[in-house]
Chain A
Amino acid sequence: MPTGTLISVEQYLATSYRPDCDYVDGRIEERNLGELDHSSLQTAVAVYFGSRQKQLGITVVVEQRVQVSKTRFRIPDVCVVLGKATEQIFRTPPFLCVEILSPEDRMKRVKERIDDYLAMGVSYVWVLDPSGRQVYVATPAAGFHEFKGEVLRTENPVLELPLAEVFA
């Protein structure tokens, strides 16, 4: 992929972007966000899991920098870790990453992000599209696929997200 000006990991980590950006092999990549559909769905997912943190023994964060490889940082819209999170920048794979699609998102870019998470060791990636109410799931075993049910679910531990709760 072509590049603009390349910057180092150190420069990226020392810089605050508003909104925060991904860092991919030296390039700063802006994320598609900021519109109501995106924000409300992101909030709904975060609130659903956030209000159950104690009960489920999980930590839920939004817009968290995750170092997915030596030269790549991604910022999932919502991120779930098992137990308590201690790292300021996640370098241990989160259990679940949730991405909310924006109208500008292309398959290729979405797939690249998903593959970054899976390669890092993330167990589940859920991709929610507010515009068409489509849902996709990616796991290391099954790859990326459309989800047609009503309740998204992980195994070991079981976390469930009834889609009717978030697609208001």
Chain B
Amino acid sequence: MFERYTEKARRVIFFARYEASEFGAPGIETEHLLLGLLREDDALTQRFLSSLSSVDSIRQSVRAVTPARPKISTSVDLPLSHESKRVLAYAAEEADKLKHRHVGTEHLLLGLLREETFLAATLLRERGISNKSVREELGAPADTWQSKLLQYLESLPNQLGILAAASGIYVKPDRSPATKAFLYIEVLSPTEPLWELRRRIDEQLARGLRYLWLIDTGTRHVYVATPEAGFHEFKGDVLRTENPALVLPLTEVFA
């Protein structure tokens, strides 16, 4: 069940279990998942809650509504409540919708928000966080831009090889299985740190990729990386490659 989970997301579950035992709860409830999430992912907390005082206030709210019970030893196995199981199922669904292979803390947050009538979602809503606002922050669902872009690329007269991957589209000069992609178009991940992104881009260019186009579907910024010019913001209206020539007006990317 946790194979697709990132290291951080796994630790959220671990911390949720710890929180439940601290509260002496018989099972891991959605509020424990939320506390685990806040404990594990500072960056996500900062993005959505904007101040650490909100984390304290959430902890206090949970304490206020939870009956005082003696702590349970962490060696006792605590089951996930039905609601928490649903949250995890929702998180996986959210990752699928965004075409993300991994289930990360951001998907867990979306999952928590979907279990609307329970404490975690209520606490988040009280702080101005909704499913809509989180999705907006994470960018438009990847499948929307990807399917639109695929349609466009496949409509081009030259016989390019188009391969849709989980988070982007590879373009090859022809359809032969032996040729390598010269272009990779991907949507900017809202959670990938810049240094990791850069390392990945450099690795792809080192392996022979000639163009990488990175699209921020939220802000509509576009970045380009090539071996010659490095990584930079793209300010024009039409993206182009040479040899083979491919032209992509940004109107085809952003509806």
For the complex, is A27 an interface residue (Cβ under 8 Å from B)?
A: yes
- Residues in A with CB closer than 8 Å to B50 are 3-5, 27-30
- B190 near A: Cβ within 8 Å? yes
Least Cβ–Cβ distance between B54 and chain A, in angstroms: 5
Residue B52 at the chain A interface, CB threshold 8 Å: yes
Task: Please state if A2 and B46 are interface contacts (CB–CB under 8 Å).
Answer: no
Say what secondary structure dominates the interface of chain B: mixed
Please determine whether A101 and B127 come into contact, CB atoms closer than 8 angstroms.
Answer: no
Name 12 interchain pairs, CB-CB below 8 A, sorted by A: A1-B47, A2-B48, A2-B130, A3-B128, A4-B54, A28-B51, A29-B46, A101-B194, A106-B43, A107-B197, A145-B231, A146-B232
Stretch among A39-47, A66-74, A127-135, A160-168 lining the B interface: A127-135
Q: How far is the CA of A27 from the CA of B127 in the complex (A)?
A: 12
B27 is an interface residue with CB less than 8 A from chain A: no
Would you call A132 and B195 a contact (CB within 8 A)?
yes
Tell me the minimal C-beta distance from A64 to chain B in angstroms.
21
**Cβ-defined contact, A101 with B190, below 8 A:** no
A83 within 8 A of B: no
Q: Which of B28-36, B175-183, B213-221 contacts A (4 or more CB under 8 A)?
A: B213-221
Identify B230's interface contact among A1, A110, A111, A145, CB under 8 A: A145
A108–B51 contact, CB under 8 A? no
Residue contact B43 to A132, C-beta cutoff 8 Å: no
Interface presence of B157 (CB below 8 A): no
How big is chain A's contact interface, by range?
20 to 34
CB nearest to B196 among chain A residues: A103
Taking CB atoms and an 8 Å cut-off, the chain B residues in 62-118 that contact chain A are none
CA distance A134 to B202 in the complex (A): 11
Q: Which residues of chain B are within 8 angstroms of A110 by Cβ–Cβ distance?
A: 194
Q: Which residues of the other chain, B, contact A32 by a CB distance below 8 angstroms?
A: 43
A4 touches B49 (CB 8 A): yes
The reply to whether B230 and A148 contact each other, CB–CB distance below 8 Å, is yes
Instruction: Report Cα–Cα, A27/B194, bound state, in Å.
Output: 23
* B191 CB–A CB distance under 8 Å: yes
User: A2 touching B134 by the CB < 8 A rule?
Assistant: yes
Interfacial chain B residues near A103, Cβ < 8 Å: 193, 195
Q: Do A111 and B219 contact each other (CB < 8 Å), given the known contacts A2-B128, A105-B194?
A: yes
CB distance from A148 to the nearest CB of B (A): 6
Please give 11 more A-B residue pairs, beta carbons under 8 A apart, in addition to A108-B190, A110-B194: A2-B48, A2-B137, A5-B128, A30-B46, A103-B193, A105-B194, A106-B192, A107-B192, A111-B219, A111-B233, A143-B232
In whole angstroms, what is the CA distance A108 to B233 when docked? 12
- A48 sits at the interface (CB 8 A): no
Selected from B48, B137, B195, the residue in CB contact (under 8 A) with A131 is B195
Instruction: Judge whether B199 and A132 touch: CB under 8 Å.
Output: yes
B129 within 8 A of A: yes
Closest to B135 in A: A2
**Is A35 interfacial (CB 8 A cutoff)?**
no
Whether a CB of chain B sits under 8 angstroms from the CB of A155 is no
